A and B are shown apart, each in its own frame.
Chain A
Amino acid sequence: MIRRDAILFAGLGVLILALAVWLKVPTTIQLLVTASAYALIALGLNVQWGYAGLFNVGVMGFLMVGGASVVFVSYPLNDAFWSSDGPFMLLKAIIAAIAGGLLIWGVTRIPKTGSLKKVRGFLLVVAWAVAYVVYRSQIDPAAVLIEEKAGFVGGLGLHPLFGWAAGGVMAGIIAYVIGKICLGLRSDYLAIATIGISEIIRALIKNMDWLTRGTLTVSPIPWPTPLPADIAAAGMDDATMSVILARSGFLAVTVILIAVIFFFLQRAYNGPWGRMMRAIRDNHVAAGAIGKNVTKRELEIFVLGAILMGIGGAILATYVQILDPSGYQPINHTFIVWVMIIVGGAGNNWGALFGAVFIYIVWTISEPASLVLFSMISDLSEGAGIGAIPDIESRALQMRVFVLGLVITFALRYAPQGMIPERVRTDD
């Protein structure tokens, strides 16, 4: 690492210490936990964009999948569901889905040449329609019954770390399907498809009440580490101290996770695999010409990035202990991650790490800061006889959105490499 980077990270450390004094320690640790989740997400996006040049504007969707997965895997068992007809009916729906899938698969086996090739497309449409109708005929009554009898399916009651893993896996599966369709086409198509899938995931999680309780929200999601209440129960008298300890425990888990993932990402990046990815990113044609299967490699990397995003999303939901679909917004969950890696330095994991923590801190403190700023302007305008600014709070928040956009466009123009730019070792 070069000296400039060390100075930047040292500056970040000082900033965090200053926050600890200003916002007090528990809040600072809380901020760091969330920032670490974003760091993981930013690493995921850096893998996709920085390593391979894949344009993903659906980060939010992958985060929501992670959140929903941790609810399903780690929320306590819902006895009302398991003692009802629900599991049986869901099983029927799953079987229907599998049967439908098999039907579709069977039709795709029809050779593209030969006597049936004319009706192939038509049969495929029919197969999809039949599969969809059969599935809906099973899932709809199941959903109604579950919502009526049990509210929602509840969880499996497993340790949250399994939930995080499940979040990664689910996000990876979705990325695989999207990637299969869009990679190999122009990057614009991937952008459109990812923004679409993230909106659809949001619609699903918001409306599949039987699975996620939708807007009713699910809480509390258990922590992988002891909660403040657990520590207090274990004999800690000082309430602040138990909060600090509990949050530190959570932070320790995320930091270790990041350290491990970071280590492997760095190794991969500097190894032959990373070299190949850069070759693909910088010159599609040349890499294709030397016989590497570009689309397949890109698919791998898209899935890998999405897995990291899924885990990050699971951590975010776990820490706040609630899955609230209405709380997910593209600005807070997609575009801010883009700002993180553009400002930090796309293609450099250190840059992504730095950008994630730095931008998250700036984003968080900009809320009170912009309020102060707007109050000042408001006082001024009142003093000048124009009158105070109405709805000052919501407007101050909107200013942040504007600044985010401004930062993106300015960074692209004046510092496209970011604060910690990509450095490709040329000696190997």
Chain B
Amino acid sequence: MNELIFFVNKVLISGATLGSVYALGAVGVTLIFGILRFAHFAHGDMMTLGAFVAFMLVAVFQSLGIQTPLPTGFIVLPFAMAITAGLALGIDRGFYQPLRAKGVKTVTLLIASVGVTLMMQGVIRLFAGTGTRSFFENETKDLYRFKLPIEGVRRSINFSEPQILVIVTTVIAVIALHFFLTRSRLGKGMRAMADNPSLAQVSGINTAAVVRATWIIAGSLAAMAGTLLALDVILKPDLAFNILLPIFAAAVVGGLGHSYGAIAGGFLIGFAETMSVFNWAVLLRPFKAGLPDWLPNDLSIVPSEYKLTVAFVILVLVLLVRPQGIFKGAST
């Protein structure tokens, strides 16, 4: 039973946390792909940028002496999202839109996004340095323990405060996005444009407004994902560039352009990663007596330094078997 709780902590809770962050990032990538038809390589750094914006806001809040019951990094989230959305719009104006206006191939936009990612990395490090920071320098990170009322169970199910916030916020964001895409006019316009851009134009849909909405949503979700990730782990300049691969993998698994797929893909990759590096031998411990002794002590599927390969292998499998994504159904 203790082993099972260890499994819940290590695989289910961590996986859900990681999956939430991946899902939020992947939705942004997939929306941008659906509307603008290119893989946005600067998305990881947009997440990092959002986290740094939040970090600066926290400094402002704390210098004003504002006390909050929840981590300040979480309280400032709406402001950070708004600022990052504005920055995303500015980046589009400055770097992508002029290229679109010239009618370039979409792969040129892809290269431009590589350029943008370098610029963002440079700017972030220029101002924030290369060191790591914590949102909890002046606050405590609460840990919630849930003891199961069962005899002989020593371990407790552990949630850290950021983990709860990540999961809850993601659920809310996903529901909000769902209503936006299926109920609002602009949201349906977005789906229409992802489905058939020229027909969307013919229908009189204001495509420029849809593009702006896309950047606003992608930018604010990126800020959300980046800040929540930094709350959960640590804030550093290469925070999100390193998770670009799982995020893209999640978007591809869900089918580029499909939001619901991206969310599912995010959680799939998150759980796959935690399950792959989990040492399954732990679960066998209670039956130790009955096990053959040639069984190694470490039964993890991949060593944790190769965690990155999990996302990659899933990506490659999907590309081999079903490049259009493994989920059927509604687009955008």
Interface centre among A338, A400, A413 (most CB of B within 10 A): A413
Closest residue on chain A to residue B122 by CB atoms? A402
A382 located at the interface, meaning its Cβ lies under 8 Å from any Cβ of chain B in the complex: no
A376 located at the interface, meaning its Cβ lies under 8 Å from any Cβ of chain B in the complex: no
When A331-B118, A408-B114 are in contact, do A399 and B126 touch as well, CB less than 8 Å?
Answer: yes
When A402-B122, A409-B112 are in contact, do A394 and B305 touch as well, CB less than 8 Å?
Answer: no
Interface centre among B102, B111, B118 (most CB of A within 10 A): B118
B320 in complex: contacting residue of A181, A192, A197, A413, CB < 8 Å: A181
Closest residue on chain B to residue A409 by CB atoms? B115
Q: Which residues of A contact B119 (CB under 8 A)?
A: 401-402, 405-406, 409
Q: Are B306 and A207 in contact (CB under 8 A)?
A: yes
Q: Which residues of A contact B106 (CB under 8 A)?
A: 188
Q: Which residues of B contact A195 (CB under 8 A)?
A: 41, 244-245, 248
- How many residues of chain B are within 8 Å of chain A by beta carbon? 48
Q: Chain A interface secondary structure, helix, strand, loop or mixed? A: helix
Query: In the assembly, what is the distance between CA of A196 and CA of B305, in Å?
Result: 15
Query: In the assembly, what is the distance between CA of A45 and CA of B5, in Å?
Result: 50
Q: Which residues of B contact A192 (CB under 8 A)?
A: 39, 245, 248-249, 252, 315
A181 to chain B, nearest CB (A): 5
A401 in complex: contacting residue of B33, B121, B306, B320, CB < 8 Å: B121
B130 located at the interface, meaning its Cβ lies under 8 Å from any Cβ of chain A in the complex: yes
Q: Are A394 and B244 in contact (CB under 8 A)?
A: no
Q: Which residues of B contact A401 (CB under 8 A)?
A: 118-119, 121-122, 125
A209 to chain B, nearest CB (A): 11
A290 located at the interface, meaning its Cβ lies under 8 Å from any Cβ of chain B in the complex: no
Query: In the assembly, what is the distance between CA of A391 and CA of B130, in Å?
Result: 10
B116 located at the interface, meaning its Cβ lies under 8 Å from any Cβ of chain A in the complex: yes
B110 in complex: contacting residue of A187, A335, A404, A409, CB < 8 Å: A187
Query: In the assembly, what is the distance between CA of A204 and CA of B312, in Å?
Result: 13
Query: In the assembly, what is the distance between CA of A185 and CA of B319, in Å?
Result: 9
B308 in complex: contacting residue of A55, A199, A342, A416, CB < 8 Å: A199
Q: Chain B interface secondary structure, helix, strand, loop or mixed? A: helix
A55 to chain B, nearest CB (A): 6
Q: Are A395 and B107 in contact (CB under 8 A)?
A: no
Q: Are A408 and B129 in contact (CB under 8 A)?
A: no
Query: In the assembly, what is the distance between CA of A57 and CA of B305, in Å?
Result: 22
Q: Are B115 and A398 in contact (CB under 8 A)?
A: no
Cβ < 8 Å to A, chain B residues 120-172: 120-123, 125-126, 129-130
When A331-B118, A335-B118, A405-B115 are in contact, do A200 and B312 touch as well, CB less than 8 Å?
Answer: yes
Cβ < 8 Å to A, chain B residues 63-95: 95
A119 located at the interface, meaning its Cβ lies under 8 Å from any Cβ of chain B in the complex: no
B317 to chain A, nearest CB (A): 9
B309 located at the interface, meaning its Cβ lies under 8 Å from any Cβ of chain A in the complex: yes
B121 to chain A, nearest CB (A): 5
A42 to chain B, nearest CB (A): 15
Q: Are B38 and A188 in contact (CB under 8 A)?
A: yes
Q: Which residues of B contact A191 (CB under 8 A)?
A: 39, 41, 110
Count of inter-chain pairs, beta carbons less than 8 A: 139
Query: In the assembly, what is the distance between CA of A271 and CA of B323, in Å?
Result: 35
Cβ < 8 Å to B, chain A residues 186-225: 186-189, 191-193, 195-197, 199-200, 203-204, 206-207
Closest residue on chain B to residue A206 by CB atoms? B305
Q: Are A207 and B303 in contact (CB under 8 A)?
A: yes
B20 located at the interface, meaning its Cβ lies under 8 Å from any Cβ of chain A in the complex: no
Q: Are A394 and B123 in contact (CB under 8 A)?
A: no
Query: In the assembly, what is the distance between CA of A403 and CA of B320, in Å?
Result: 38
A412 located at the interface, meaning its Cβ lies under 8 Å from any Cβ of chain B in the complex: yes
When A207-B303, A335-B114 are in contact, do A403 and B122 touch as well, CB less than 8 Å?
Answer: yes
B235 located at the interface, meaning its Cβ lies under 8 Å from any Cβ of chain A in the complex: no
Query: In the assembly, what is the distance between CA of A405 and CA of B119, in Å?
Result: 5
- How many residues of chain A are within 8 Å of chain B by beta carbon? 46
Q: Are B129 and A405 in contact (CB under 8 A)?
A: no
B48 located at the interface, meaning its Cβ lies under 8 Å from any Cβ of chain A in the complex: no
Cβ < 8 Å to B, chain A residues 235-272: none
B332 located at the interface, meaning its Cβ lies under 8 Å from any Cβ of chain A in the complex: no
B107 to chain A, nearest CB (A): 5
B98 located at the interface, meaning its Cβ lies under 8 Å from any Cβ of chain A in the complex: yes
Q: Which residues of B contact A412 (CB under 8 A)?
A: 99, 104, 108, 111-112, 115
Cβ < 8 Å to B, chain A residues 319-334: 331
When A189-B323, A192-B248, A408-B114 are in contact, do A391 and B129 touch as well, CB less than 8 Å?
Answer: yes
Q: Which residues of A contact B308 (CB under 8 A)?
A: 196, 199-200, 203
B194 to chain A, nearest CB (A): 15
**Per-residue 0/1 for B301-322: is the Cβ within 8 Å of any A Cβ (1 yes, 0 no)?**
0010110110110011001100
10 closest A-B pairs by CB: A402-B122, A405-B118, A408-B115, A405-B119, A401-B122, A398-B125, A188-B39, A409-B115, A196-B312, A405-B115
Interface residues of B (CB under 8 A from A): 33, 38-39, 41, 95, 98-99, 102, 104, 106-108, 110-112, 114-123, 125-126, 129-130, 244-245, 248-249, 252, 256, 296, 303, 305-306, 308-309, 311-312, 315-316, 319-320, 323
Not counting A195-B245, A399-B122, A413-B95, a sample of 15 additional A-B residue pairs whose C-beta atoms are within 8 angstroms of each other reads A188-B106, A189-B252, A192-B315, A193-B312, A195-B244, A196-B248, A196-B308, A331-B121, A391-B129, A405-B117, A405-B119, A408-B115, A409-B112, A416-B104, A416-B108
Interface pairs (26), CB distance under 8 Å: A55-B107, A57-B114, A181-B316, A181-B319, A185-B323, A189-B252, A191-B110, A192-B245, A192-B248, A193-B315, A193-B316, A196-B315, A200-B306, A203-B308, A207-B305, A335-B114, A335-B118, A394-B129, A398-B130, A400-B122, A401-B118, A406-B119, A408-B112, A408-B114, A412-B104, A412-B115
Interface residues of A (CB under 8 A from B): 53, 55, 57, 140, 181-182, 185-189, 191-193, 195-197, 199-200, 203-204, 206-207, 331, 335, 338, 342, 390-391, 394-395, 398-409, 412-413, 416
